[in-house]
Amino acid sequence: MAHPKRKISKTRRDKRRTHYKASDQQISTCSKTGESHLYHRAHWHEGKLYYRGKVLVDADKTSEN
């Protein structure tokens, strides 16, 4: 297995990585609420936590206990 003869410095490594740029965030619209949110992320809307169109947590019910 090949190994580098010399250690590549952090500066040299980071210079190479400057070309990797983050793309714009993908934003989706919830079919139930119409709320904009990031893909694959849960989002709060009117005291409820939604993910993939389903309610995960209802803040009104949890605060009553």
**pLDDT per residue over 4-55, tens digit each?**
899 999 999 999 888 877 788 889 998 888 999 998 999 999 999 999 889 9
pLDDT of residue 9: 95
Locate the domains of the chain by residue range: 26-65
Residue 48 and residue 30: Cα distance in Å, rounded?
13
Angle in degrees, CA 60, 58, 63, rounded to 5: 35
